[in-house]
Structure 1
Amino acid sequence: MSAQSKVTVRLTPVGRYYAFLVVGIFLAAMVRQVNLLLLLSGLIAAPLFLSWQMARRNIRRLSIRRRVPSRVCAGDLMVVDLELEVSSRRGKAWMVSVSDRIQRDGCSSDSGGESVRVFFPYVDGTGARALAYRGRIARRGCYTLGPIVLATRFPLGLFEARRQVDLRDQIIVCPRLGRLTENWNRRHHFTYDGGSRSERCADRVSGDFYGLRSWQIGDSPRLVHWRSSARHGELLVRQFDRPRQQHLTVLLNLCCRAGQHMNRDAVKNEQDVEKAISFVATVIHDLCRKGGRSLLLGVSAEDITWLGGPASPGFLQRAMDLLTRVEPSEGDHLVTLFAEARRRSPQHADFLLVTTSPLRFRPELSANSGDHAARGETSGKRPGQAGAVARDFRVEVIDVTSGNLENIFEYQTVAGS
C-alpha cells in the first residue's frame, strides 16, 4: 500500500482562460460599479472553487499498488499490473490518470527514462480496480520502476490535482535469448556409440535414440536392433545421444579498443557485444534446460569473473545475473582468461570461447589454440612438465567480429514487432 504524500493543485490551460474571464468580469464590475456584473462574477467563480475542492479531495483518498515480474529477458513481453483503491468505503474517484516511470540504473533522470500512463475512468470503495500496461525492454540491465504520479482533472477540468507516490520496484532485464540453428546442433550432436561397460552392467542405456551403426566387438546384445539387422543382412546396434564430455567451459571476452566510443564503429561494437552476450546466454540456457553436465563460465570485462557448478536452474539464474550487469572494457584479457580457464577446467574438458576481440591481433593465443581463425575449432595438449600425462582438450572459438556467429545463432522474431 502506498503512503500518503503531498497533493499539488494547479490550473489547467482551460482553467487559466476561465480564471481570466472571472477576473475580467470582476474588474469591469468594480470599475463601472455594476452590482449585477459583480454578482455574475461571483456565480462564475463558484465552479472554480468547486473544481479545486473536488479534485483535491478525490486524489487524497487514493492508494496504488504495483505488481511487476522480478526478471524478464530483453525483447520479451513485460506485464505490469496496477491496482487503484479508494481508502474510504463510500468514497469515489473519477477520471484518474496514473503515470509510471521506467528508468535504467546508471542513466540520468533527464535521459534514459520512459513514462507510461494508465487511465482509470472510475474507482469506488467496493474494491480495487486493476489495469495493466505491457511493453518490451530492448536493452539488458537493471531497471527501476517509479515513482508513480496520480492525477485527476475531475469534475470540470479547470484544476489538475497531482500526487506523487514514492513506490519503486526493481526489475532485472536479462540478455535477449535467441535460437541455436541447425548448423550448431549438427556440430554439437554428440553420438553415443553402443554402451559403456558400466552401462551394460546396469542393463540400461540413457539418452535419446539417434541412429544405427554396424555391430562391433564388445557391443551389448541388448543394443542390437533385430528387425533392421534382418532387413540389411548384418547386425546393427542402436546409437543414443549423450554428451561425450560432461564438462564445458564457456569463456566470454568483451572488449573494445581504446577510443572506439568516439568513432563511427561504436554502434557496430555495441551490437557485437550484445550479440555475444545473447549467444552465451542462449547456450547456457539450453545446457541448463537439458542438464547432465557441469559448467564453468568465465567472463572477461573490467575484471575476470568465474561461475561454476552443475547445469541447473540455480546456475542459470546466477549466470543471467552476471551477464545482465557485465560491460565491455578497453583492456583485452583474452590470453589471461584462456590460461586461467585451462587451469580451472578438469581433464578432457570442452572449451567454447566467444570473443569480441579480432583474433588476428592475438598470435600468442593462436600458438596455444591452433588455427581457429580458419576452422573455428581446434584441439591441443595441455602443457605440462616432462614426463607428465598429456591432457587433451578441444577449443571452439567464435569470433563475433568476423561474422561467423550468423550461421549458428539467430534472434527469434518477436510477434507483432
Structure 2
Amino acid sequence: MIAGLGLVAFELATSFIGERLGDGGHWIILFCGTAFSVWGLKEILANLFPRLGNRGVIRNRFHLPAEGRAYLVIMFFLLVGALIGRSNSLMLVFSLMAGPFVMNGWHTFTVLKRVTVTRNLPPRAMVGEPFSVELTLQNRKSWLAVWLLLVRDHVTGCRENLAPEVLFIRCPAGGEQRGHYQLQLRRRGKHYFGPFYADTKFPLGLVERGLNLPAAGELLVYPWIGRLRADWRTRLSLAAEQVSRSMTRGGPFHDEFHRIREYRPGDDPRTVHWRSTARHNDLMVREFRENRDAPLVVLVDAYSPRTVAGEWDEPFELALSFAATVCVSHLRQSRDASLLFGVHGKTTQVWGGGRSAGRLDDLLDMLAALEAGTGTPVRPLLEQVGPMIPSNAQVLFLSPRAEAMNAEWPVDLNLPAIRIVEASRSKLEPLFDWVQSGA
C-alpha cells in the first residue's frame, strides 16, 4: 500500500513517466499505484482480522516471500535504469524478469480455484492423549493439478491457540488427497477448529497466495482419566474426614465378609473375632473382601476463583481428574454397579446411571464442559442428591474448602456418612497417577 501511494505521489509531483511516455503512461502509472494501494489495504485487513476470511469477507490472501521481494527490487532498478537511460537492453531484461513473476502469480491464483478442504474429527478426546485429525483436499478443477499446498488449521479454546499444518504434495485434477496431523491438547473443555488457511507459492516461490476456507468444528476434551493406586481406599481413609451421622457396616466402605483367619501384624484390632479366638486359643480376625458392587456417590464442589478469572488452576483440574478416574474405575470394575455423581459449580448438575457406554460418555461430557463456580454454598447440591443416596452407598465429597465444609456442614439435612477430601495436590496425588495438564 505504501509503495502504491508513493508511486502515485511521485508521479503527480514530478510527472516523471508522463514526460517520457506521454499522457497514456502517466494515467497507467496512476492507475497501477491506486490499484496497489487498494490491494495493500485489503491485505493489511486480512492479516489484522483473519476471521474475516471465515465469514467470507476476505477469502484470498497475498504474500511476497523474501525471494519475491528481492526479485521485485531488481526489477524496479532495471525499470528505472531503462527509463532514465532510454536503454532497450535493460527494458528487455526487465520484461524477461517480469514474465516469470506474472506467471507465478497467475498460477498460484488459478491453482486455488475450486479447491475445498474438509476435516474429520474424532467424537471426543482426553487431556494429554494424542489423537489424529484427517484432512481431505478436493481439487474440482478439470485440467490443473495442485502442487505443494500447505493447509494450516486453527485450534482455539480453553486458553489454547494452535495452528497444525499438513503439506499436500500433489492433488490431481478432479481428485482428492488425504493427510493427517496429530494433536495433544493440554486443557479440558470445548475446543473450536477452523478456518483453514491454504497457501502455495509453486512453482517458482516468488509469489505466495492463500485462501481462507471456512470449516468450523468442535471437540470436547475430557479431563485426564488416571489410574488409581492399589491402596487408594486405605490412603483415602487417612486423607478424608468423615462428617454427618455414622452408618453400621461390616467393614471399610461396605466390604463383604470373606472368612476368618489367623491374626497378622498390622491387622485392625477391631476385626478380632473373639469367639473364634477362644475356640482356637489364638487370635483370629475377620477378613473382608472388597464389595465392588456397592453404590458409589461422588460429589464435587467446583469452586475455583482462578478458573473463573481465566487463569489455570491445577488443584481444580486435579480434583476433576480424580473424580472422573474414580467414576470410570467404579463402573468398569463392578458387575451391577450404580453411580450417582453431583457437581456444584456455575450450576448444579446431577448424573446417575450404570456402566452403559453411552451413559458414561454423558458423564464425561458433563465434566468436560463443567464451568467453575465462585463460592456459592453447596447446600442446593446436598438437598438435591440427599434423597437419592442409597443407605449402603459409599459417599465421597471433593472440595477445595474442606475445612470450611466441616465447620458449616448442614446437619439438618440428615445425610448419610460422607467422607470429605480436600481437593489439593498433597491430598489427591497419593491416591492416583495423574498427568499434569499444563499451566
Fold equivalence (TM over 0.5) = yes
AA aligned opposite 2:195: P
Equivalent residue for 1:301?
Answer: 345
Change (3 A) 1:258 1:273: closer
Please state how far the C-alpha of 1:285 moved relative to its aligned partner: 1.2
- Please say if residues 68 and 207 of structure 2, whose CA atoms lie closer than 8 Å, have aligned partners that are also in contact: yes
Larger gyration radius, structure 1 or structure 2: 2
Equivalent of residue 281 in structure 1, options 298, 315, 324: 324
Matches within 5 A, 1:196-207: none
Determine whether 1:395 maps to 2:418: yes
1:379 counterpart residue number: none
Paired with 1:340 and 1:88, the residues of 2 have a C-alpha distance of 61
Give matches, 1:218-237, under 5 Å: none
> What is the distance in 1 between the residues matched to 2:320 and 2:162?
25
The answer (yes or no) to whether the contact 1:70–1:170 under 8 Å persists in 2 is no
Q: Which amino acid aligns with 1:353?
A: F
SS of equivalent residue, structure 1 residue 405 = helix
Contact 1:357/1:401 (<8 A) preserved: no
- Identity, % of aligned positions: 23
Corresponding residue number in structure 2 for 1:249? 297
Deviation track 1:206-259 (CA, whole Å, cap 9, x = no partner) reads xxxxxx547xxxxxxxxxxxxxxxxxxxxxxx98764363x2221000214699
Alignment of 1:63-102 (within 5 A): 63-102=116-155
Say whether the 8 Å CA contact 2:254–2:394 is kept in structure 1: no
In 2, Cα distance between equivalents of 1:166 and 1:320: 29
Query: Structure 1 residues 65 and 251, CA, compared in 2 at 3 Å: closer, same or farther?
Result: same
Residue aligned with 2:424, SS: helix
Secondary structure (helix, strand or coil) at the match of 1:407 reads: helix
**TM-score normalised by length of structure 2:** 0.70
The alpha carbon displacement at 1:31 in A equals: 1.3
Q: Which amino acid aligns with 2:423?
A: V
The match for 1:118 is: 166
1:138 and 2:182 are equivalent in the alignment:
no
In 1, Cα distance between the equivalents of 2:424 and 2:126? 24
Aligned pair in 2 of structure 1 residues 402, 368: CA closer, same or farther (>3 Å)? farther
Change (3 A) 1:261 1:129: closer
- Relative to 1, partners in 2 of residues 1:411 and 1:298: Cα closer, same or farther, differing over 3 Å? same
SS at match of 2:381: helix
| Range that drifts further, 92-101 or 325-334 | 325-334
CA distance in 2, matches of 1:143, 1:3: 19
Residue 366 of structure 2 corresponds to which residue in structure 1?
A: 322
Report 1:14-93 matches (<5 A). 14-93=67-146
Choose from 127, 152, 157 the match for 2:205: 157
Q: 1:98 to 1:189 in 2, by over 3 A?
A: same
Deviation per CA, 1:361-408: give whole Å up to 9, x if none: 64132x849xxxxxxxxxxxx84xxxxxxxx93322221237221221
User: Given residue 94 of structure 1, which amino acid in structure 2 is its aligned partner?
Assistant: W
| Aligned amino acid, residue 284 of structure 1 | C
**Contact 1:288/1:313 (8 A) holds in 2:** no
Higher helix share: 2
What is aligned with 2:42?
none
**What is the RMSD computed on CA atoms of the aligned residues?**
3.3
Contact 2:155–2:191 at 8 Å: present in 1 too? yes
In 2, Cα distance between equivalents of 1:402 and 1:115: 32
Per-residue deviation, 1:40:
1.7
**CA separation in 1, counterparts of 2:79 and 2:293?**
92
Tell me if the contact between 1:68 and 1:80 (Cα under 8 Å) persists in the aligned partners. Answer: yes
Distance (whole Å) between structure 2 residues aligned to residue 99 and residue 348 of structure 1:
55
Q: Following superposition of structure 1 onto structure 2, how do residues 334-413 of structure 1 map, counting pairs within 5 Å?
A: 334-360=378-404, 362-365=406-409, 368=411, 383=414, 393-401=416-424, 403-411=426-434
Instruction: Rate the CA distance shift 1:240–1:258 in 2: closer, same or farther, 3 A.
Output: closer
Structure 1: how far apart are the matches of 2:307 and 2:164? 36
Distance in 2, matches of 1:402 and 1:153, equals 51
Residues 149 and 164 in structure 1, CA contact (< 8 A), matched pair in contact too: yes
- Name the counterpart of 1:200: none
TM-score, normalisation: structure 1: 0.73
Q: Output the amino acid matched with 2:292.
A: P
* Preserved CA contact (<8 Å) 1:9 1:52: no
Matches of 1:128 and 1:46 in 2, distance apart? 31
Which residue number corresponds to residue 27 of structure 2?
none
Give the whole-Å Cα distance in 1 for the aligned partners of 2:97 and 2:424.
Answer: 71
Shift of 1:175: 0.8
Q: Which amino acid aligns with 2:111?
A: N
Mapped partners of 1:3, 1:325: distance in 2: 26
| CA–CA separation in structure 1 for the residues paired with 2:198 and 2:229 | 48
Higher mean alpha-carbon deviation, 185-194 vs 338-347, is at: 185-194
- By how many angstroms is 1:190 displaced? 5.9
Q: Larger strand proportion, structure 1 or 2? A: 1
| Offset at residue 346 of structure 1 (A) | 3.1
Give the Cα separation in 2 of the matches to 1:34 and 1:120.
Answer: 45
Residue 227 of structure 2 aligns to a residue whose secondary structure is: strand
Structure 1, unaligned runs of 5 or more: 195-211, 215-237, 370-381, 384-391
Q: Which amino acid aligns with 1:83?
A: T
- Within 1, Cα distance between the matches of 2:210 and 2:293? 64
Q: 1:273 to 1:304 in 2, by over 3 A?
A: same
CA distance in 1 between counterparts of 2:309 and 2:195 reads 32
